[in-house]
A = this chain, B = another copy of it.
Amino acid sequence: MPDIGALLSPSTVAVVGAASDPHILRGRIMHVMGGHPFKGRVYPVSRSSDEVMGLKAYKTISDLPEVVDLAVLIIPAKFVPGALEECGAMGVRAAQIITSGFAEEVGGDGGDMQSHIRAIATKYDMAVCGPNSEGFANMALDFCPTFSPAVDDPDTPLLPEWCNENHIGVVAQSGGMGFAFYDRGRPKQLPFSYVITTGNEACIEGFQLVDYMLDDGNTEVIVMFIEDIKTPEIYATVAEKALRAGKPIIVTKIGHSQAGQRAAASHTAALAGSYSAYNAMFERYGVIEGRDIEEIVDISSGFSFWKDRLPKGKRVGIITGSGGAGGWMADTAVAAGLSVPPLDAKTRALIESHLPSYGTAQNPIDGTAGAIREVGYPNLMKMTAASDEIDAIIAIASARNAARYEPELEQLTVAAHEAEKPIVFNSYTMPKPEGFAVFGRAGFPVFTNMRNTAHVIACMADYRAFRENFLKRPTIGSTSEKPTGVSEMLAKTDGALTEYESKKVLKAYGISIPVEVLAKDAAAAQAGAAEIGGPVALKVQSSDIIHKTEAGAVALGLENAVSVGAAYDQVVTSARAYSPNADIQGVLVQPMARPGREIILGINRDDAFGPMLMVGLGGVYVEVMRDVVFAPAPVRPEEAKAMLQRLRGVALLHGVRGQPAADIKALVDLMVTVSRIASDWRNEIAEIDINPVLVHPKGEGLTIVDALIVKSKPG
C-alpha cells in the first residue's frame, strides 16, 4: 500500500525544479512554502542553481544528504519519469507531481508518459499525487507545496485563531477549485485540515486520500470536486466508511450537461445520462451534492459547527430583529423544504413575556432590533430551542459590525455550548472578517446567502435521517442462489429477448406474470384467448422488433374469436411490412390488464458503476416531467421505498382526491427483484424495461404489461 502519510505529512521534502524567482511557478512554490512555518527539512533540487532562497540546492535527488519522505516534482514533463524512477530507486516514499503535459493534453505523448509514471509508482509502491496538479496544503503542519495564491499570504495563518475541531478536508481534481473552497472558507473562519488537488489522478485517487483523512483524526467534514471516479469499488468502500463514521462528504461532480445520451434500445437507457449513475451512487451513501462553491462552503460550515448535534427534523425557529428579514427567511426556508411552525403556546407566552408588546413569538420570533438587543440572542435561543416544535434555529442578524455583539460573546459561547439543537446565523449585511470571528469563536456559523442558510439546515437534517436509517439496516447476508434455467434463457440470443422470453426470466425469479399463450397461428391464438377468457391483447414476438406498437404489431381489447383471428393476421402482416426479415417467433395472447397506476421500471448498465435501477411515473408523464430516479442495483426494500419517495409525483402512489393508494409493497418487491436480476447477471444484461407496470390499489398487486431484456454486446 502506498504510504499516503509520507505524501501529506512528510518530515523531509525535496523540491525538484525549485527556483528563487517568484514570477515563475517553480519559484512561487518555494515562496509559498517559505511563507509558512513548516518544521520539516526542505531540500531544493536544481540543475542550474547552487542555492535557492537561502537554502543549499542539490543537482539531483541522489545528491541529497538523506532519503526524503516526499519529492515534489515541478520540472518539464519529459523529465518527470526519470526523476520519479530516481526517487523510487532511492527509497523516496511519495511524490507530488505538479508538472502538467500528460494525459490532459490530447494528441501528444502525454498519455504514454502518464502510463509510465503509473508503472513506476506501482513498481516502487510510491504514493504519487498528480500529475497536472496545483499541489496541496496540510494546515496542521503549515506545509504548502503549492503555487496557489490562496495560501501565499504569510501574514494570514492557515487556521483561524479560534476555530472548532471539526476540520474540513478538501480533495479536488481541479487545483483552482480546490483552493477556491479554502479561499472562500478562510475569511469565514472555517478550519481546514487539508486542501489536496489531485489533477489527473494517474496513481492515487481522490477517495484514497479521503480514506486516509477518515483515519488520521484531523478531518471531520470532507469537500470534493470530482471530474470522474476512476475505481467505483474504492468510492463505495470509502463513502460507506465515511457515512458510518458520521463524517459527511460534500461533493460536486461536473459534467452533468455534457453527458451525451447514447443510442439505446430501451427507454430506461435513453433516460439515463452518465450523471444519473453518479447521482444514484451519491444517494446510496448519503453523499451530499452541492451546486456551487459558496453553497458547498456553507454546507461544510454547518457540519463543521454542528455535526455532533444535527437537527432531528426540518422544523425551524427564526429569531429576528428585522420583520422583513424574518418573513423573507421564512419564505426561503419553506422553499428549501423546511417548515416554520408556530411555537407551542407555552414557549410563545414565555418569549413574549420578554418582548415588548408589539413583538411576536409566533415564529418568526420578531421583537424589533432594539428588543432583540435588550433580551439578547442567547436568551431567545435558549427559550426557542426548548420548544418541542423546533428542530433547529436560524438567528438573523446584521453582523456587519461585530463590535455590537462583543459584549454578548460569553453568553453566546455558553448558548452554543449548551445547545442541543443547531443554531446558525444569517447576516443580511456583509460581515467583516471580525464579524465571522466573533460568532465563530462563540460557536456559530454565519451565512450571508439566504438560500444557503435554509438549505444547510435541510442538508443536515437529511444527512442525520439518512445515516440513522442506514446504520439500522442489517448487513447484507449471503446472496441467494441464482434460479436455475436463467442462464440458458439468456443464452438464447445476443440481442434483445422478446417480451415472452423476457417475462420467462422474470417468472424464474418468482415475479408473477398473467397467464399468456404464445400462438404460432390464428387458431392457436383463438384457443389461447378462449382459455384466458375476457378481452385479450395480441403482440407479435420477435427479437428483431423491439418497439412493437410502432410496428403495428399489437392489437388490444379483442373480445371474441372472430376479432382475435382477424387481429392475428393483421398484426403479423403489419410486423412483416415493418421489418420484412424479422424472425417472428409467434404472437403473444394475453389478458387485457386491469387498470392501475402506470409505472416504468428499468435497468440501465452504467459503464463505470454497473446496473442502475430506474423507476418513474409512466406514460407520457415520464417524457414530459422526467420524473424518474435511479439507484445502483441491487436495492434493498428500504432503498426502493426511498426511491419512490424521491419521485416528485409520489403523491400519485399514495392516493389523491378519491384515487386509491397504490400497492406500494408489491411495487417495492418488484423493484427489489428486478434489481437482483440485473445484479445477478451484470455481465449478461445491459438493459431491462418493464414498461408499463400497472400498480393496482393497495393489497391488489400489480400487472406487468410489457417487458424487455437487452443483452450486453458480446466481447
Contact = CB atoms under 8 A, between A and B. Distances in A.
Interface of A: 100-101, 104-108, 149-150, 172-177, 179-180, 183-184, 187, 225, 227, 252, 254-264, 266-268, 291-295, 318, 321-328, 330-335, 339-342, 357-358, 360, 362-364, 366, 368-369, 398, 400-401, 428-430, 448-451, 549-550, 620-621, 623-625, 648-649, 651-652, 656-659
B225 A263 contact: no
Nearest to A368: B100
A408 to B, nearest CB: 17
B333 A291 contact: no
A21 to B, nearest CB: 15
Contacts of A104: 323, 358
A391 to B, nearest CB: 14
Given A255-B327, A323-B268, A334-B256, A183 B362 contact: no
A328 B621 CA distance: 29
Given A176-B324, A324-B225, A448-B294, A363 B259 contact: yes
A642 to B, nearest CB: 19
Given A325-B176, A327-B227, A451-B292, A263 B364 contact: yes
State the copy count for this chain. Answer: 2
A326 B183 contact: no
A676 to B, nearest CB: 30
Nearest to A322: B176
A43 B357 CA distance: 34
A293 B328 CA distance: 10
B324 A259 contact: no
Given A176-B369, A187-B430, A267-B366, 14 more contacts: A101-B358, A104-B323, A177-B428, A254-B324, A256-B334, A258-B334, A260-B334, A263-B323, A266-B360, A291-B332, A293-B428, A624-B651, A625-B625, A625-B648
5 contacts: A180-B398, A225-B328, A255-B327, A291-B332, A449-B449
Contacts of A368: 100
Closest 10 pairs (CB-CB, A-B):
A174-B324, A263-B327, A267-B323, A259-B340, A176-B322, A257-B334, A292-B450, A259-B330, A260-B331, A105-B358
Given A291-B451, A398-B149, A266 B176 contact: no
A56 B651 CA distance: 71
A353 to B, nearest CB: 16
A498 to B, nearest CB: 22
B401 A149 contact: yes
A659 B362 contact: no
Contacts of A341: 259
Contacts of A172: 324
B327 A267 contact: yes
Contacts of A264: 323, 327
Nearest to A340: B259
Given A172-B324, A450-B293, A620 B429 contact: no
Given A260-B327, A262-B363, A322 B177 contact: yes
A14 B291 CA distance: 51
Contacts of A266: 323, 360, 362, 366
Nearest to A275: B331
A429 B326 CA distance: 30
A400 B364 CA distance: 37
A449 B323 CA distance: 26
B177 A324 contact: yes
Nearest to A186: B430
Nearest to A264: B327
Contacts of A107: 357
Nearest to A358: B105
B325 A177 contact: yes
B325 A183 contact: no
B263 A326 contact: yes
A106 B322 CA distance: 17
**Most-contacted residue by chain B among A256, A331, A400, A448 (CB, 10 A):** A331
Contacts of A105: 357-358
Nearest to A326: B263
A395 to B, nearest CB: 14
A177 B449 CA distance: 13
A318 B187 CA distance: 28
A266, A448, A649, most chain B CB atoms within 10 A? A266
A53 B363 CA distance: 41
B657 A366 contact: no
Contacts of A323: 104, 174, 263-264, 266-268
Nearest to A184: B430
A430 B183 contact: yes
A59 to B, nearest CB: 27
Most-contacted residue by chain B among A260, A651, A652 (CB, 10 A): A260
A173 B104 CA distance: 54
A255 B652 CA distance: 29
A81 to B, nearest CB: 19
Given A252-B328, A292-B449, A656-B623, A322 B174 contact: yes
Contact of A333 (B259, B262, B357, B623): B259
A656 B620 contact: yes
Contacts of A100: 368
A149 B328 contact: no
Given A149-B398, A429-B184, A656 B260 contact: no
B263 A620 contact: no
B259 A364 contact: yes
Nearest to A253: B331
A108 B360 CA distance: 15
Contacts of A255: 327, 331
A156 to B, nearest CB: 12
A181 to B, nearest CB: 9
Contacts of A174: 322-325
A326 B318 CA distance: 37
B180 A428 contact: yes
A428 B100 CA distance: 21
A104 to B, nearest CB: 7
Contacts of A324: 172-177, 225, 227, 254, 267
A294 to B, nearest CB: 6
Contacts of A295: 451
Nearest to A648: B625
